[in-house]
Chains A and B, each alone.
Chain A
């Protein structure tokens, strides 16, 4: 077991490194942050409630990006099941442990790097951010707890929605949740029932946590109850983390049990037929 965890850490590092050495994934690392920064550049002088809009949105986007690690886990799980990566893990002693540790490491690593890629240029382009030692501390715990809350949910989504088209479909509700999570405009501007719904998602709380870490204290005026609500942030993210960590092993085990050579072969046939037909 200990060997497998070590192998998994190494696996995560290899996969993380690989994501910077091949074209499509490299594009993924830089294209979205580049668009984000371009967007922030045009918003840098807009104002909302006395504060610059760019300053409000930058930390929110960092929170949202980190929460989207869940989508990455979900999609990679589906792809890895399709191409037989999971079956190989299953055929190896404690291979599933190594696989999951590796996935968490590589996705968390990517989330971190993507955060730096947006944050560093963002600090120069967007004025009105406040960077303090306490802020970095808040950023660290919100990010860590946020990842523990969202990555297992991603594993559950990846086990339940098994096909690539289904993975595409879950993007739609995800966009809906982003829209009501106070990322691009304050959640207090929404009708009360949407405001409630938005506050059930980890996306909202990760965005809020990031704003509390990177914005000056007076910006709290646009938040619910004029408070950063750190206790509630830890509470909600903690609940998601516990739920995810309890549910993910069960769902993953059920999914892995159904994997076999003929299941992978059948998917390969289907994929080949699709690409020909």
Chain B
């Protein structure tokens, strides 16, 4: 993919299996949005091969479009529409594409937690409610593949937790394949089956969240107290260290904490490794 003379994506090669949740991580300007927009069929690539649900998105028809769900970051569109009215309208377009389509509006409202706001005008919704409506619009056609571009920006912790449960449920119960981008690493660790890290237009790492955290050699952080004295150690392999600690001090060891590297540590190590 190229803008003017600058290639913005190089050798970005990956596959998603049906029902898989794939997270695309990377710093701003890494090419995440460009990648997603090529897959959505909203942007033409300058080279390479892309297949989404067996079709090249650059030449895909409306039947293909009906199998894709896109969660757009809404701003102020449809402000005068009522929540229920807008969902019913958006759903109407999917009726010819299967008996179970669209997703019945009442069920969908309940699934995204907007039942109480069904009669409200869109512009009176809070940021978090609006985002949930965006998700509902993305889901109303029961897509086989769902694109989520930074879905929880602006969510409070409770809304974020509810949203995570919704997405996890979708992947598990409806077999929806999900491609999401996010800057929230705990979110990626919680939702994604597999993570791709994109930096400067290249994929620098891919794997499960556990694969990525174990792939970097970072010390574990071990803390404990002996009597009134506090101790903190950075140890590469914490398990033998803790065994030895108990062998030596027994019950005197109190308040033990062992912190392994998080996905965030792994992410920063991988991204900084590429940039330096």
Contacts and interface: CB of A to CB of B under 8 A. Distances in A.
Interface of A: 3-4, 6-7, 10-11, 14-15, 18, 21-22, 80, 83-85, 87-88, 90-95, 98, 259-262, 264-265, 268
Contacts of B70: 91, 261
Contact of B81 (A18, A83, A92, A268): A18
A85 B93 contact: no
B233 interface: no
A3 B73 contact: no
Q: For chain B, give the interface size range.
A: 20 to 34
A93 B43 contact: no
Contacts of A265: 73
A173 to B, nearest CB: 29
Given A85-B77, A260-B42, A260-B43, A91 B72 contact: yes
B205 interface: no
B85 A14 contact: yes
Contacts of B42: 90, 259-261
A75 to B, nearest CB: 15
Contacts of A93: 62-63, 65-66, 93-94, 97, 141
Given A10-B89, A264-B72, 6 more contacts: A4-B93, A7-B89, A84-B74, A88-B90, A91-B65, A94-B62
A261 B73 contact: yes
Contacts of A22: 80
Contacts, number: 82
Interface in B63-99: 63, 65-66, 68, 70, 72-78, 80-81, 85, 89-90, 92-97
A265 B75 CA distance: 9
B33 interface: yes
Interface of B: 33-34, 36-37, 40, 42-43, 62-63, 65-66, 68, 70, 72-78, 80-81, 85, 89-90, 92-97, 137, 141, 149
A47 B36 CA distance: 67
A93 B96 CA distance: 10
B213 to A, nearest CB: 30
A94 B76 contact: no
Contact of A92 (B37, B77, B90): B90
Given A92-B65, A98-B93, A260-B37, A80 B81 contact: no
A11 B89 contact: yes
B218 to A, nearest CB: 34
